[in-house]
């Protein structure tokens, strides 16, 4: 006995609904498992759980964990400050950027290095090799897909997310590769290699065994010691470091759109120095790490700024250690290099403004200019000057329209008028006056064409079998054939 037609239809509809539900479930199930695969389980246990527990105890249980004496307060303060210096000065300045060197005295050097290695591992950023690999990757690939702290992913990922989730695939691959390189380089470094091989044991010793020993000696409740000497120190220093990166990179989000557009340029990264007032407000919680643009430009400089009025706590500490002979040498960038870097960036920003102003002539690449023959240049230049007062001058095989500059020429109008329709290269390069780079920069906005010469010229040769004037081949060696320096082709 068969089923009725109505029963068959109902069954088909039910199957369709079930299949649709299965598709939706699989879709969200795949996303869920994808997120699970992205989670760093160890970081979830350490870097996320500890700060959350610390915050909850500060909110709900603070009176219960405030019972201790002045001596214990002193130990908590010393432990916090020493751990803070181990991260900012030890991990960051010394091991990552080599901003200073320690004394050659065996006892001083080894004791300082072991202290940095022991205290530094207790702030949640892994071993020296882990931190160095991660941070140098950030410096080398700033704001690209291989930057593990890429702010374009979102400020939440930049602040905390990179600790909990794996980043983009390219960034993770680059990190593993960079970490392998650092492990090989530090193979003969006793302290660094020893710390990396035993980082979890050292973390347990730093965050659990040491507080319990102090608890036994000072008769302080065990949980109080663990909280103040481990959890609070761990959470506070970690957030301070993360905040330095976020303030330096995410701060531009609060600027106007024009500034944000400039920050996307290849020569201006997302880092920016804070205004002076904001710097003074944030200098203490950020341990002076507010001048991010200076640090990214000169990472091996032991200072955060070359300006004396900035609150650069790290500079003062290193300077004090240098006077105490613990630090034997500090690295400081020559002031002329700083000025040069600043001027170059300002010039690039000015060029950016000029090229994006519709009222001004935009600089055109020489490869995009039309090609003229000698005959075309001679005929057109004479006719344009006679009929429309348009002045064309040839300099270094580049045709310039100097009409707008005739009245403003410092050497007088007659010199330009006498060069119309002619090759003024010799006069320009010292025959009459040796022009400066400023003159060449001005002329770069007057280019309208390139001359194709019959013989080997700056821009190539004319070969009849390949289309005549449509053929162009730039010959670099020709730039050196002439005794005079042709800067325009070089800068092009």
For residue range 261-297, what is the model confidence (pLDDT) as tens digits?
665 555 555 667 788 888 899 999 999 988 888 888 8
Domain boundary among 314, 347, 380: 347
Could you read off the pLDDT of 92-128 as tens digits, one per residue?
999 999 999 999 888 888 899 999 999 999 998 999 9
- Asked if the structure places residue 76 within a domain, the reply is yes
Domain boundary among 293, 319, 347: 347
- Asked if the structure places residue 13 within a domain, the reply is no
Asked if residue 150 and residue 296 are part of one domain, the reply reads yes
Q: Considering its fold, how many domains does the chain have in total?
A: 2
Asked if residue 379 and residue 335 are part of one domain, the reply reads no
Asked if residue 235 and residue 131 are part of one domain, the reply reads yes
Q: Which residues of the chain have pLDDT under 70?
A: 1-35, 151-152, 250-271, 351-367, 410-411, 430-438, 453-492
Asked if 489 and 444 count as a contact pair (C-beta separation under 8 A), the reply is no
- The predicted structure's pLDDT at residue 436: 64
Could you tell me which residues are beta bridge partners of residue 329?
101
- Asked if the structure places residue 80 within a domain, the reply is yes
Could you tell me which residues are beta bridge partners of residue 429?
434
Could you tell me which residues are beta bridge partners of residue 457?
460
Token pair belonging to 474: 């730039």
- Residue where the block lists tokens 């960036």: 345
- The predicted structure's pLDDT at residue 472: 42
- Asked if the structure places residue 255 within a domain, the reply is yes
Query: How is residue 161 annotated by DSSP?
Result: I
> Cβ contacts of residue 185 below 8 Å, gap of 6+?
none
Choose among 391, 403, 397: nearest CA to 372: 397
- Asked if the structure places residue 373 within a domain, the reply is yes
168 Rama class: left (phi>0) / alpha (psi -120 to 50) / beta: beta
Q: Cα 173 to chain center, whole Å?
A: 19
Asked if 67 and 224 count as a contact pair (C-beta separation under 8 A), the reply is yes
Q: State the number of CA atoms in the 13 A half-sphere of 193 facing the CB.
A: 9
Q: How far is CA 340 from CA 221, 295, 445, in A?
A: 58, 16, 24
Q: CA angle 296-283-127, nearest 5°?
A: 55
Domain boundary among 313, 347, 381: 347
- Give the C-alpha separation, 233 to 225, whole Å: 11
Q: Domain containing 485 — which CATH number? A: 3.10.120.10
The answer to whether the Cα torsion of 25, 30, 33, 34 is positive or negative is negative
- Asked if the structure places residue 265 within a domain, the reply is yes
Asked if residue 49 and residue 198 are part of one domain, the reply reads yes
- Give the C-alpha separation, 214 to 209, whole Å: 9
* Domain region containing 199: 38-347
Token pair belonging to 447: 């280019």
- The predicted structure's pLDDT at residue 156: 79
- Asked if the structure places residue 107 within a domain, the reply is yes
- Give the C-alpha separation, 269 to 194, whole Å: 36
The answer to whether the Cα torsion of 464, 466, 470, 475 is positive or negative is negative
- Kindly report the pTM of this predicted structure: 0.67
Asked if 368 and 285 count as a contact pair (C-beta separation under 8 A), the reply is no
Asked if residue 262 and residue 323 are part of one domain, the reply reads yes
Asked if residue 371 and residue 342 are part of one domain, the reply reads no
- Asked if the structure places residue 22 within a domain, the reply is no
Asked if residue 77 and residue 206 are part of one domain, the reply reads yes
- With 0-12 CB in 10 A as exposed, 13-18 as middle and 19+ as buried, what is 47? buried
Asked if residue 309 and residue 233 are part of one domain, the reply reads yes
């Amino acid at each position: 006995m068969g089923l009725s037609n109505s029963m068959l239809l109902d069954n088909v509809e039910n199957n369709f609904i079930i299949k649709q539900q299965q598709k939706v479930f699989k879709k969200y199930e795949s996303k869920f498992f994808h997120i699970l695969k992205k989670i760093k389980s160890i970081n979830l246990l350490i870097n996320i759980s500890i700060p959350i527990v610390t915050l909850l105890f500060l909110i709900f249980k603070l009176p219960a964990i405030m019972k201790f004496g002045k001596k214990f307060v002193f130990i908590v303060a010393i432990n916090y400050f020493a751990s803070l210096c181990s991260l900012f000065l030890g991990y960051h300045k010394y091991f990552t950027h080599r901003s200073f060197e320690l004394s050659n005295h065996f006892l001083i050097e080894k004791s300082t290095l072991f202290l940095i290695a022991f205290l530094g591992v207790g702030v949640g950023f892994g071993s020296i090799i882990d931190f160095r690999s991660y941070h140098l990757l950030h410096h080398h690939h700033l704001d690209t897909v291989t930057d593990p702290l890429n702010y374009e992913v979102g400020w939440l990922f930049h602040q905390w997310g990179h600790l909990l989730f794996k980043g983009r695939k390219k960034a993770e691959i680059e990190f593993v590769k960079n970490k392998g390189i650092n492990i090989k380089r530090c193979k003969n470094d006793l302290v660094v290699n020893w710390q990396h091989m035993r980082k979890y044991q050292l973390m347990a010793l730093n965050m659990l065994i040491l507080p319990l020993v102090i608890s036994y000696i000072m008769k302080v409740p065990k949980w109080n010691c663990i909280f103040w000497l481990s959890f609070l120190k761990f959470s506070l220093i970690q957030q301070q470091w993360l905040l330095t990166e976020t303030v330096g990179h995410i701060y531009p989000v609060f600027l106007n759109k024009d500034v944000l557009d400039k920050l996307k340029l290849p020569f201006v990264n997302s880092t920016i120095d804070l205004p002076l007032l904001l710097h003074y407000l944030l200098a203490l919680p950020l341990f002076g790490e507010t001048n991010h643009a200076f640090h990214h430009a000169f990472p091996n400089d032991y200072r955060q700024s070359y300006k004396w009025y900035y609150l650069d706590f790290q500079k003062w500490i290193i300077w004090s250690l240098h006077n105490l002979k613990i630090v034997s040498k500090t690295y400081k960038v020559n002031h002329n290099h700083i000025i040069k870097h600043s001027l170059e960036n300002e010039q690039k920003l000015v060029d950016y403004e000029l090229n994006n102003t519709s009222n001004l002539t935009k600089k055109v690449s020489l490869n995009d200019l039309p090609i003229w023959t000698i005959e075309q240049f001679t005929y057109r230049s004479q006719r344009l000057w006679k009929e429309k007062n348009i002045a064309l001058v040839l300099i270094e095989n580049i045709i310039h329209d100097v009409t707008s500059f005739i009245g403003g020429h410092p050497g007088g109008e007659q010199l330009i008028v006498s060069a119309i329709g002619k090759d003024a290269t010799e006069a320009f390069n010292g025959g009459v006056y040796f022009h400066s780079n400023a003159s060449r920069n001005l002329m770069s906005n007057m280019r309208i064409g390139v001359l194709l010469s019959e013989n080997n010229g700056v821009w190539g040769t004319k070969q009849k079998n390949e289309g005549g004037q449509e053929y162009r081949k730039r010959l670099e060696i020709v730039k050196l054939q002439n005794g005079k320096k042709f800067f325009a082709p070089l800068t092009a």
